[in-house]
């Protein structure tokens, strides 16, 4: 048997010490939500609760993790879900439902006006939901959200204006999460 000591200075920063060895810095590993919970009877179960205040850090996609040329606090509103019309013999990739969370407060204009996070599920529940940050202006710019990057504490949004070199990454971290 040995001794292990773990101290946390902040929610995302700590140190660990094992049997008299040197103290090591530790940090959490973020991961996505399990998609197996998709339930066609109650579709929103698959998507974590996004409503609340979030810190957003913006960087070039190829930038170092600590290079964030922009940061802000936004608020995401409650989810609104809708069932989409479909034919009885709809193909498996037919959209089944759409779930929207509007960005209701963005004082630093981190995202375009009237932006919302939209996730669409499909008739075939094994097809991964399609998520994006949607807004009415500028159809040439897209804000993609990989479904695996959505958790109740962190969301990654990638903005692309045509070329991968120009893409911008937004890391959203929920305030007062736990």
| This prediction's pTM | 0.70
Number of domains in the chain: 2
Is 68 in the same domain as 148?
A: yes
| Rounded Cα distance, 131 and 117, in Å | 7
Buried b (16+ CB within 10 A) or exposed e, 54-88: bebbbbeeeeeeeebeeebebebbebeeeeeeeee
Domain that holds residue 89: 32-174
Residue 139, pLDDT score: 63
Residue 124, pLDDT score: 86
Residue 15, pLDDT score: 84
Residue 44, pLDDT score: 46
- Residues 56-64 have a mean pLDDT of 73
Is 5 in the same domain as 79?
A: no
Is 81 in the same domain as 26?
A: no
Residue 36, pLDDT score: 43
């Amino acid at each position: 048997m040995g001794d292990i000591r773990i101290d946390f200075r902040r929610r995302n920063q700590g140190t660990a010490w094992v049997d008299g060895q040197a103290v090591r810095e530790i940090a959490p590993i973020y991961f996505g939500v399990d998609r197996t919970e998709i339930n066609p009877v109650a579709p929103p179960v698959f998507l974590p609760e996004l409503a609340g205040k979030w810190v957003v850090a913006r960087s070039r996609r190829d930038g170092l993790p600590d290079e964030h040329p922009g940061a802000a606090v936004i608020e995401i509103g409650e989810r609104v879900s809708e069932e989409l019309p479909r034919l009885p013999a709809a193909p498996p990739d037919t959209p089944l439902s759409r779930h929207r969370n509007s960005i209701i407060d963005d004082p630093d204009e981190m995202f375009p006006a009237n932006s919302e996070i939209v996730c669409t599920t499909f008739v075939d529940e094994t097809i991964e939901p399609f998520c994006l940050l949607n807004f009415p202006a500028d159809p040439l710019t897209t804000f993609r959200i990989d479904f695996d990057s959505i958790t109740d504490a962190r969301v990654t949004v990638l903005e692309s204006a045509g070329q991968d070199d120009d893409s911008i990454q937004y890391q959203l971290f929920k305030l007062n999460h736990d």
